[in-house]
Amino acid sequence: MEEKLTDRMCPNCNDYLFYMEYNTEIPYEGNITIKTYLCKSCYYKDVSIKRHDMEKPKILKLKIRNKNDLKTIIYRSPDASIKIPEIDAEISPGIASRGYITTVEGLITGIKEKLSLMDSHDAIYIEERINNILKKNSEEITLIIDDSSGKSKINSGRAEVIEK
C-alpha cells in the first residue's frame, strides 16, 4: 500500500495529510476499496469504504417463533434498515453506518440497551416485552431487513426474500 502526501490539511493540527488506498475482498460485501487519509503528526485518521459489488435491492423477512430462532445469524449491510414492527423498533442507515454480523438475539438485546437511555413509560413497557421475548419467547415477532444494496442476509431457510 503506497502512501501519497496530499495538499489536504489535517482538521486537528493543520499538517498535511497522507493518502492510502487498498483494494480487497471481504465476506458478504465482495470487492471494496478502503481509502484512508492520515496525519502523521497528530494521528488523525479519516477512513471511507467504497463497495464495488452491488446486488438487486431486496427485503428479507423472518418470523421469530421460538427461542431457537433467536440464534439465527444475520448480516446487516451498511445500507440496510431493520424493523421489528411488533415492538416499534427501527434501525436506519446513517452516513457513518457500518455493516455487522449478529444473531437475532444480539440485535434485540442491542435495541433493549438503547431503550435504557430513554425515560418513558413506553420504553419500560417495550423493555418488559423484549425481556419476555428473550427469556420465554412469549410472542412472535417479525424481523424485516430492507436493503438497497441487496447484500444483507438472514441465515435461515424460512427467511422470505422479496426483490424490489
- pLDDT digits over 76-124, tens only? 998 999 999 998 899 999 877 888 899 999 999 999 888 877 767 778 8
CATH 2.20.25.420 intervals, the chain? 3-51
d(CA 164, CA 160): 13
- CA 99/CA 30 separation, integer angstroms: 13
Given 1.10.357.10, 2.60.120.1040, 1.10.10.10, 3.40.50.720, which CATH number is that of 58-163? 2.60.120.1040
**Residue 94 has what pLDDT?**
82
Q: Boundaries of CATH 2.60.120.1040 in the chain?
A: 58-163
pLDDT, tens digit, for every residue of 122-143?
788 888 888 888 887 678 999 9
- What values do phi and psi take at 87, rounded to 5? -115, 15
Is the pLDDT at 20 greater than 80? The verdict is: yes
Q: What is the CATH number of domain 3-51?
A: 2.20.25.420
Q: Give the Cα separation of 163 and 156 in Å (integer).
A: 17
Report the pLDDT averaged over residues 50-73: 91
Question: What's the length of the chain?
Answer: 164
pTM of the prediction?
A: 0.74
Q: Report the distance separating Cα 24 and Cα 2, nearest Å.
A: 15
SS3 68: helix
